[in-house]
Structures are given as C-alpha cells and as structure tokens.
Amino acid sequence: MTRTWVVPVSAIVIGMVLTGPSSAQEPAGDVAVHDGGAKVSRATWECTPGHEVRKHRITLDSGAVRYTFMVSGCLDPSHGDQHPCNEGTFGMPDPSLANWYWGGFMKVLVNGTNATLYQAEEPRVLETGARGLIQIVWAHPAADVGLRLMMLPAGNHVLAELVWRPRADAAVETVALRLTCYPSFFTTARQRTGERHCRTPRVDMAEGQPLKLVPGEDAWLYYYDRVFDVANGEGDGPCAVLLDPSAVTAGSVSIGGYAVTTAVDLDPEAGRTRLALYDFTGLSNADAGEYMEQHAADDQARLAEMDFRPGPVRGLDVAEFTAEVTGLLAAAAEDGEALKPQVDELLARMAELKPAADEGDWTAEADLAELLLRSPDILWKLKAFAVLNRQ
Ligand SMILES: [Zn+2]
C-alpha cells in the first residue's frame, strides 16, 4: 500500500470546532510524508535464500531535501523473536545510499542487544504540513524503543528523539547507539581509496586515528572525505550528526577507510535522547563544514526545545474538549441525537488513551493523535446542527 499524506494538522481539533476548516490545499513550504508501505519478498542477499523479508520505506520531504528511512527484517520463524537482515535493519536510502548507510545506519543497543532487530510497529505518520513527523517503535525484550523523526519546512536535517521504556519485569542496564556512515562514497566496494575525516567542534581526526569523544564538547560530528569532495567532482557530499550532550556518557569514533562507526554510550536512567542527522548530498566539504560551524549551535537549541508530541495531542485539553463537544451536542438538540453514540465513543476512547499517552506510551499517543485526526467529520456535523438549532 502506498500513501501520500498531505493532511495539514495545524489548527485542528479544539480550534476546528469553533473556526473554519483548514484549506484542503497544501500551502507552500509544508513538509510531506510519503509512506511507501510494507513490501514482502523472497530473500536473496538479505538472509537465507527463500526466507521472506519485509521492508518498509517512509520518506520525509521538507521541500528542500527528502530523507527516506527503511525498516527491514526477515520474517522466517527460525529467527525466533528477531528479524535480522544482512545489511542492517534500519537504514537511510535517501538522500544518498552512502553517508548514513542505506541498509542500516543505526543500532540501539539495550543491554547489549540491538533493538532494531526486533519486531517494529508499522511506521506511523503523526504529522504533515507545518512539520513532518513519523514514529517507529521496536519491541526489545527489555524495553519498548521508540524513535520519532521530524523535518521542518525547507529543513536540511532530520530531528530525532529516541526513547526507551523498560518493561515492567525487565531492567535496562545499558543503552548505546551505533551509527554507521560511509562518508560521500563507498570507497572499498568501488576499488577506490579515500581520505576519511571526522571533525568535531574540538578536533579534526583523520582515518586510522582513534577519536574518543568528550561528551560536553563534541556536540556534533562531521564526517567527510578529502578525496571524495563534490568540489573535486567526486562523491555525493559529506554527512554529520548532532548529539544531545545531556544523555551522552562516553563515545568514540572508529574512522575506517570504508565504514566510519560512531559508538555513543547513553545514560540508561535518562530514558531518552535526541539527535539530528544531516546528509549533505550535493554540498562541497567546505560548504557543509561551514554549515556545521555556523548553524550547529542554533540547530541544537531548536532540537532541545522541540516538542515531539503529535500536534493534535499537544493542543489537547480533554476536559475542555469534552465540555465543548457536550455543549455542541446539547445545542444540536434532536439533530444531535443520531450522533450521540459516535460522540460518546470518541470521548470514551480519548479518556482511555490519554493517561497512557501522558505516561509516555507512544503507541497510545499515536492512537490518540489518529483518533483526533479522524474526528473532524463528526464535529463539523455537530457544529452545523448546533448552528441550525440556534436559529
Ligand atoms: Zn531469515
């Protein structure tokens, strides 16, 4: 199933009861989300030939650049509760196959095992329009691990929030990230030799040298290749990541001639961290490096302040909403009676989901956001009846 989401979610829910409907036309400068849906095929390179492999692609398009994420995994029961895939289970195929690796660029190690190997909920679209926001939740045996990915209009990077919620009967003792990139070009695979570097606000390290991160100072990591520079007509352009220093306890970067692997240890008690991912496809090393120097601090401040809750939920005051809807129902008089069962069901479901959402259950929060997005029809009917009955 392929869907393109162009539902503007600004000015929705409470406001929509009292004000006019938002325009059906997507205003310029909005973020679109394209959900490519899940596809199941026979494994060739992904796993044992003949096993069935599932892949789900979803794209955030800021208008300036598109980032595609891919959740992959083998469905064969021989793997137990894991869903492995040879090139990784969570990848970023756009804007470049290189840079943040298309097959798998991120592992979230909980107690040493990768959460993205486990069952993932279908990626969910939480917002389009003024922001593009999607969510993926993996069922690690010790914790639900959720990732929200956001783009802003004309944005060049993806803002991410990662959370881990320990299960009632489990303890989360360690949490770590492993990020894999191939800056600008797949050197070894194409029989070429590059000159990889990783630069932070503090140091610039060449490949082969160990880079131990200083959490408070190495707020961003910029990965580039001096040979594969767009300025020389070579490669796709560099990439970068911005970290949340408050949750990082230690880290290191292994700058290989092919893959560059970044290991980040997180405070398991923090329960969450944030990061921003940059793929500078099309930019020269000089331009991308300058971007990080000039804008990383602002980007980090925005990331720290960002509210990652879905728009309809952010604006929701259940008591106010209930009072307004109940008032409209009364004003709609006899015309409202046919709608009462639907309204009651909406309010009951909302009351059921809200406490779980407030407690940090992302699945409940996404369910609540969808419920609110689906409710305008009935609220508009109610409002129309209320107006008719006032005359
Ligand atoms: Zn398999």
- In this structure, the answer to whether residues 100 and 197 fall within a common structural domain is yes
- In this structure, the answer to whether residues 248 and 334 fall within a common structural domain is no
Count of domains for the chain: 2
CA of 344 to the centre of ligand 1 (A): 46
Give residue 378's pLDDT band: very low, low, confident or very high (50, 70, 90): confident
Give residue 332's pLDDT band: very low, low, confident or very high (50, 70, 90): confident
Domain boundary at 308, 324, 350, which?
Answer: 308
- In this structure, the answer to whether residues 98 and 194 fall within a common structural domain is yes
pLDDT of residue 28: 54
Average pLDDT over residues 87-100: 97
pTM of the model: 0.89
- In this structure, the answer to whether residues 175 and 239 fall within a common structural domain is yes
- In this structure, the answer to whether residues 337 and 217 fall within a common structural domain is no
CA of 78 to the centre of ligand 1 (A): 7
Three-state DSSP class for residue 39: strand
Residue 311, pLDDT > 80, answer yes
Beta strands in 8-142 (DSSP E): 32-42, 52-61, 66-74, 90-94, 99-100, 106-110, 113-114, 124-127, 132-139
**Rounded Cα distance, 259 and 186, in Å:** 8
CA of 73 to the centre of ligand 1 (A): 8
| 7 assigned to some structural domain | no
Q: What tokens were used for 286?
A: 């000089």
CA of 177 to the centre of ligand 1 (A): 24
Average pLDDT over residues 31-38: 96
| 8 assigned to some structural domain | no
CA of 173 to the centre of ligand 1 (A): 29
- In this structure, the answer to whether residues 213 and 352 fall within a common structural domain is no
CA of 235 to the centre of ligand 1 (A): 33
User: How do residues 267-303 score in pLDDT, each as one tens digit?
Assistant: 999 999 999 999 999 999 999 999 999 999 999 999 9
Residues present in the chain in total: 391
Bridging pattern class, strands 248-255 and 157-166: unpaired
| 183 assigned to some structural domain | yes
- In this structure, the answer to whether residues 291 and 228 fall within a common structural domain is yes
The CATH number that applies at residue 89 is: 2.70.98
CA of 58 to the centre of ligand 1 (A): 23
CA of 93 to the centre of ligand 1 (A): 21
- In this structure, the answer to whether residues 320 and 303 fall within a common structural domain is no
CA of 42 to the centre of ligand 1 (A): 10
| 365 assigned to some structural domain | yes
Domain boundary at 286, 308, 330, which?
Answer: 308
- In this structure, the answer to whether residues 41 and 112 fall within a common structural domain is yes
- In this structure, the answer to whether residues 132 and 42 fall within a common structural domain is yes
**Torsion angle of alpha carbons 247, 251, 256, 259, nearest 10°?**
-30
Q: What angle do CA 281, 287, 292 make, to 5 degrees?
A: 90
**Rounded Cα distance, 243 and 251, in Å:** 11
- In this structure, the answer to whether residues 331 and 382 fall within a common structural domain is yes
DSSP character for 31? B
pLDDT of residue 388: 85
Average pLDDT over residues 34-48: 96
- In this structure, the answer to whether residues 110 and 221 fall within a common structural domain is yes
| 252 assigned to some structural domain | yes
- Specify the higher pLDDT residue, 382 or 59: 59
CA of 10 to the centre of ligand 1 (A): 42
Domain that holds residue 270: 31-308
